[in-house]
Amino acid sequence: MADLTPSQHIDKHIAELNDWRGKMLARLRKLVLEAAPELAEEWKWGTPVWAYKGNVVAGGAFKDHIKLNFFKGASLKDSKKLINSGLEAKTGRSIDFREDSKIDEAALKELIREAVSLNSAKKK
């Protein structure tokens, strides 16, 4: 197992989620990478993480939802109000996607790009 690349770990993880969650995570992964091709895929804490100058967003699979966790989500503008979870957290925020969730792809990509630019604009 240790010789898998992070992308291969993510492929394997998606394949093991052999229900709607695997399809949802695969779709979200595609959107994340389309939104910000500069993101590197990493495998941390047993879950997919996309990073650029630090962690940007992670994808987690739960029994009844897939979570996209934005590490600096509290600093995102989220003008389309996509964020629906972790609202009490100090820095992170997340979006929970359920089996019947509709994805506003354009708004999600905008949020991902905003999260990447937050990491790019690190304080000196």
* Residue 43 belongs to domain with CATH number: 3.90.1150.200
State which residues form the domain around 78: 6-120
CA-nearest of 72, 37, 32 to 48 is 32
pTM of the model: 0.94
pLDDT 10s digits, 50-79? 999 999 999 999 999 999 999 999 999 999
**Does residue 58 fall inside a structural domain?**
yes
Mean local confidence (pLDDT), 40-52: 97
Residue 123 has pLDDT above 70, yes or no: no
Residues in CB range of 42: below 8 A, 6 or more apart: 6, 48, 49, 50, 51, 55
Residues pairing with 69 in the sheet: 58, 94
